Amino acid sequence: SVKKGFDFTLMVAGESGLGKSTLVNSLFLTDLYKDRRLLNAEERIIQTVEITKHTVDIEEKGVKLKLTIVDTPGFGDAVNNTECWKPVADYIDQQFEQYFRDESGLNRKNIQDNRVHCCLYFISPFGHGLRPLDVEFMKALHEKVNIVPVLAKADTLTPSEIKKKKLKIREEIELCAIKIYQFPDCDSDEDDDFKQQDYELKESIPFAVIGSNIVVEAKGKRVRGRLYPWGIVEVENSAHCDFVKLRNMLVRTHMQDLKDVTRETHYENYRAHCIQSMTRMVVKERNRNKLTRESGTDFPIPAVGDMTDSQTEKLIREKDEEVRPGDPQAESAHLLGQPPADHEQRSQQKFETECGSHAGARSHLEDEAL
Amino acid sequence: SVKKGFDFTLMVAGESGLGKSTLVNSLFLTDLYKDRRLLNAEERIIQTVEITKHTVDIEEKGVKLKLTIVDTPGFGDAVNNTECWKPVADYIDQQFEQYFRDESGLNRKNIQDNRVHCCLYFISPFGHGLRPLDVEFMKALHEKVNIVPVLAKADTLTPSEIKKKKLKIREEIELCAIKIYQFPDCDSDEDDDFKQQDYELKESIPFAVIGSNIVVEAKGKRVRGRLYPWGIVEVENSAHCDFVKLRNMLVRTHMQDLKDVTRETHYENYRAHCIQSMTRMVVKERNRNKLTRESGTDFPIPAVGDMTDSQTEKLIREKDEEVRPGDPQAESAHLLGQPPADHEQRSQQKFETECGSHAGARSHLEDEAL
């Protein structure tokens, strides 16, 4: 895997103007958005939330990283932002859907994994805590993706204001029962330094960040920063913000855990939900077929209640047992009651009707691989 | 008037968290909001836009100023902000309505003038120019009040960013045909210094502002400012922001012009509109009465088209001529075709039906005179 390199998909979300693009460019020392055209006030009135995707190859100390950034321009920009998280949620589901299809297919060797491993959610430093839209967004997404909240443009806050605001936001996240990404607890036999680091990381939430792609001269050194009349803000100075902490967490210490939680929790949740509704459909169809054969008519007849609800549930549980990963062909064959040969085409159709309700939203996707 | 002191009503509007309260306190060196309780995330979800009013007496070099601050907490805070400018527009109309009533009454000596003379509109420094909500608000209000746009929390922007953003915002204001308050042109015979000052004032729009009520020590001096790890922002340092320019404009150089434009333009527009619709009503009533007397029935009968539209308009113009200010009794008497004695009660009723459509919104008003 080291030789092949790593894949990682990072989503950035939050109100326009909070420095999402600048932070991404600062984090990965690239310029992903050089062709971006900002909309003017009139255009923004009719603008909707879109999803854009950028891919960049990064190499650090011989280790290759294929990084995909998913952005959500227009989010929170409208006068009425009701359900503006929907295209974002749909995008995440579509990636799961695609992965599920590929995984259920014949060739499982070279699946391209586009699942979103982490979502940096940008919180305005001007809010008195979380805004209603922040709460709505995180609640709508927290069971689909690892949310890591960041306090945007933290150079607008003094250290004591940052401290207070972080505490307030953590309290509100708990109060609203929002499940953000949880750093795994470190082992009890780790040394004290490591434990302290871990504690500090957890206390940093939401990471106070500042982005800049401008190199300025501060005390004789050339650093990424912002030059104000009253001083120089240094992005990578830990006395100024949590930028370095966030970068280390993302690309060094927790990348694998973010991928593991995505695979083991968020994707499995999606998959279980899909299989359940597919099985329910199969059960219904079987009942219908039985009746059809007996009555000798070709018209689909509504299933009569010859099976109680608890019986249906039992059958679903049995089906769930059968479809444990291992033999992809057997899996699909069992599930659909068909010989293996044409299982792929069939499962394709099932998906279209069962899980493919986001087809409309997909047209928003604009793949701008650089 | 100098002995009696001045009255001035300033409204502050714009998204929550942009430092409206802090700026007001900085501008007038008071603490208007000491009892304010901030809402938490859950409360803010059901919060609506309210209007609050604070009054403070200021004395500077023996000149008294009775300052009223009208605030709009909750503005732009909701997920759906459609028409959230409405309570604000209604409030302004209500003050005009009250003034019109008082002016039409018998005792015109001691009218309390609550008309809003200026509205500081706070624009987020994070927007890429104006946001759709900014455009909506300013367009809804620009014919009712003098709008002075300010670029909030300007310590988040470097000098070159401020310059670019001001230019962009001025362009968008023009593009969207928003009529903000126009500084009167200075006389051509003024000296060059004065002309330069005037030019700089006009170029400052939107005023880049920073507020602070904390006194910090900068280069041995004690100043109002913000203490960052990378330096001290001084509110009253013109190299840091336009705070002093804005304060001078508001309380010294342009206060009288703001009041004049309010009285001569915005209030007269409101008054003309009111008189016109009142006259239309009177005309309709007369037609109805004429018919009623002729046909001898007491039921209101819809007016038949015995008067062409142009005749109606002519009558309205004649009525407009009659109601020039001067004799308040004659005015009301003419207008309503009634003896002077009970004119006040009648005009009261007219207002209720004609101009008093904001009664519902008025319950939002919370008068917290300190």
Q: What are phi and psi of B319, to 5 degrees?
A: -60, -45
Residue B235 forms contact with A (CB below 8 Å): no
pLDDT score at A260: 95
Tell me how far CA of residue A67 lies from CA of A12, A267, A349, in angstroms. Answer: 13, 19, 32
So what's the ipTM on this one? 0.70
| Per-residue pLDDT reduced to its tens digit, B195-254 | 888 888 999 999 999 999 888 988 888 889 999 999 999 999 999 999 999 999 998 889
Q: Tell me the residue range of the domain where B292 lies.
A: 281-360
Site from A77, A156, A232 to mutate, B interface, most B CB atoms within 10 angstroms: A156
Give a yes or no: residue B213 inside a domain.
Answer: yes
| In a shared domain, residues B217 and B82 | yes
* Element containing residue B365 per DSSP (H, E): strand B365-367
Contact at CB, B38 and A134, closer than 8 angstroms? no
Count CB pairs under 8 A between chains A and B: 134
pLDDT score at A178: 96
CA distance B319 to A213: 66
Mean pLDDT value across chain A: 78
| Per-residue pLDDT reduced to its tens digit, B106-154 | 888 788 889 999 999 999 999 888 998 899 999 999 999 999 999 999 9
| Per-residue pLDDT reduced to its tens digit, A108-128 | 878 888 999 999 999 999 988
Residue B219 forms contact with A (CB below 8 Å): no
Neighbours of A328 (CB within 10 A): 17
Give a yes or no: residue B269 inside a domain.
Answer: no
**Collapsed DSSP state (helix, strand, coil) of residue B209:** coil
The answer for B 4-43 residues in CB contact with A (under 8 A) is 15-19, 38-42
Dig out the tokens for A33 from the structure.
């958005």
Contact at CB, B79 and A78, closer than 8 angstroms? no
CA distance B316 to B282: 10
| In a shared domain, residues B199 and B343 | no
- Higher model confidence: residue A104 or residue A334? A104
Mean pLDDT to the nearest integer, B302-320: 55
CA distance B245 to B239: 11
CA distance B116 to B267: 10
Which pairs with CB-CB distance under 8 Å and at least 24 residues apart come from A79-82? A79/A45, A79/B80, A79/B81, A79/B82, A79/B132, A79/B133, A79/B136, A80/B79, A80/B80, A80/B81, A80/B82, A81/A133, A81/B79, A81/B80, A81/B81, A82/B79, A82/B80
Residue B136 forms contact with A (CB below 8 Å): yes
Residue A81 forms contact with B (CB below 8 Å): yes
Neighbours of A88 (CB within 10 A): 24
| Per-residue pLDDT reduced to its tens digit, A3-22 | 567 889 999 999 888 999 88
Dig out the tokens for A96 from the structure.
């799961």
Q: Which residue of B has its CA nearest to A239?
A: B229
| Per-residue pLDDT reduced to its tens digit, B30-46 | 665 555 566 665 665 55
Determine contact, residues B142/B261, Cβ cutoff 8 Å: no
| In a shared domain, residues B218 and B340 | no
Mean pLDDT to the nearest integer, B3-32: 84
Mean pLDDT to the nearest integer, A335-339: 40
Q: Half-sphere exposure (CA, 13 Å, Cβ side) for A167?
A: 6
Mean pLDDT to the nearest integer, B278-307: 63
Nearest by CB to B127, which of A17, A78, A82? A17
Nearest by CB to B135, which of A17, A41, A133? A41
CA distance A270 to A98: 12
Nearest to A8 by CA among A21, A22, A24, A19: A24
Determine contact, residues B21/B36, Cβ cutoff 8 Å: yes
Contacts of A18 in chain B (CB under 8 A): 126
Mean pLDDT to the nearest integer, B249-278: 92
Neighbours of B210 (CB within 10 A): 26
Neighbouring-strand partners of residue B148: B120
CA distance A25 to B12: 36
Contact at CB, A42 and B226, closer than 8 angstroms? no
- Higher model confidence: residue B315 or residue B164? B164
| In a shared domain, residues B139 and B176 | yes
CA distance A140 to A134: 10
- Domain CATH for B161: 3.40.50.300
**Percent of chain A having pLDDT more than 90?**
39
**pLDDT interval class at A338 (50, 70, 90):** very low
Q: Which residue of B has its CA nearest to A74?
A: B131
**pLDDT interval class at A195 (50, 70, 90):** confident
Give a yes or no: residue B370 inside a domain.
Answer: no
Mean pLDDT to the nearest integer, A189-205: 87
Measured between CA atoms, how close is A70 to chain B, in angstroms? 20
pLDDT score at A342: 46
| In a shared domain, residues B296 and B249 | no
pLDDT score at B47: 58
Give a yes or no: residue A197 inside a domain.
Answer: yes
**Percent of chain A having pLDDT more than 70?**
71
Site from A45, A81, A121, A126 to mutate, B interface, most B CB atoms within 10 angstroms: A126
**Collapsed DSSP state (helix, strand, coil) of residue A13:** strand
Tell me how far CA of residue B10 lies from CA of B30, B68, B262, B269, in angstroms. Answer: 15, 6, 12, 20
**DSSP secondary structure string for all residues of B81-128:** -TTTTHHHHHHHHHHHHHHHHHHHSS--TT-------EEEEEE-TTSS
Dig out the tokens for A244 from the structure.
């370095």
Residue B356 forms contact with A (CB below 8 Å): no
Burial class (CB in 10 A: 0-12, 13-18, 19+), A350: buried
Angle value at C-alpha A109, between A103 and A110, nearest 5 degrees: 90
**pLDDT interval class at A313 (50, 70, 90):** low
| In a shared domain, residues B69 and B108 | yes
Contact at CB, A79 and B132, closer than 8 angstroms? yes
State which amino acid sits at residue B178.
Answer: I
Dig out the tokens for B314 from the structure.
């002519």
The answer for A 293-332 residues in CB contact with B (under 8 A) is none
Supply the Cα-derived Rg of chain B in whole angstroms: 24
Q: How far is Cα of residue A95 from the mean position of the Cα atoms in its chain? A: 9
Residue B177 forms contact with A (CB below 8 Å): no
| Per-residue pLDDT reduced to its tens digit, A156-173 | 999 999 999 999 999 999
pLDDT score at A360: 37
**Collapsed DSSP state (helix, strand, coil) of residue B229:** coil
CA distance B113 to B94: 12
| In a shared domain, residues B208 and B332 | no
Determine contact, residues B175/B287, Cβ cutoff 8 Å: no
Dig out the tokens for B71 from the structure.
């605030």
**pLDDT interval class at A340 (50, 70, 90):** very low
Give a yes or no: residue A309 inside a domain.
Answer: no
Give a yes or no: residue A88 inside a domain.
Answer: yes
| In a shared domain, residues B156 and B286 | no
Nearest to B267 by CA among B182, B144, B148, B112: B144
Nearest by CB to A230, which of B17, B124, B240? B240
Mean pLDDT to the nearest integer, B344-370: 42
pLDDT score at A41: 58
**Percent of chain B having pLDDT more than 90?**
38
Contact at CB, A40 and B228, closer than 8 angstroms? no
Query: What is the signed CA dihedral for A323, A325, A329, A331, rounded to 10 degrees?
Result: 0
Mean pLDDT value across chain B: 78
Dig out the tokens for B165 from the structure.
């953003």
CA distance A211 to B230: 15
DSSP for residue B182: P
pLDDT score at B51: 82
The dihedral built from the CA positions of residue A184, A21, A117 and A87, taken in this order, carries a sign that is positive
| In a shared domain, residues B38 and B186 | yes
Sequence-ordered strand ranges (E) for A5-105: 6-13, 52-60, 63-71
pLDDT score at B77: 74
Burial class (CB in 10 A: 0-12, 13-18, 19+), A277: middle
Q: What are phi and psi of A119, to 5 degrees?
A: -125, 115
Contacts of A233 in chain B (CB under 8 A): 228, 230
* Element containing residue B9 per DSSP (H, E): strand B6-13
Contact at CB, B135 and A231, closer than 8 angstroms? no
Nearest by CB to B230, which of A78, A131, A232? A232
pLDDT score at B245: 94
pLDDT score at A159: 94
| In a shared domain, residues B197 and B318 | no
Query: What is the signed CA dihedral for A34, A40, A46, A47, rounded to 10 degrees?
Result: 20
**DSSP secondary structure string for all residues of A152-221:** --GGGS-HHHHHHHHHHHHHHHHHTT--PPPPPPPPTTS-HHHHHHHHHHHHTPSEE------EEEETTE
Q: How many domains are there within chain B?
A: 2
| Per-residue pLDDT reduced to its tens digit, A238-250 | 999 999 999 999 9
**DSSP secondary structure string for all residues of A281-342:** HHHHHHHHHHHHHHHT--S--PPPS-S-HHHHHHHHHHHHHHT-SS-HHHHHHHHHTS-GGG
pLDDT score at A49: 63
| In a shared domain, residues B198 and B292 | no
DSSP for residue B187: P
Dig out the tokens for B223 from the structure.
């100043």
Give a yes or no: residue B267 inside a domain.
Answer: no
Give a yes or no: residue A345 inside a domain.
Answer: no
| In a shared domain, residues B145 and B219 | yes
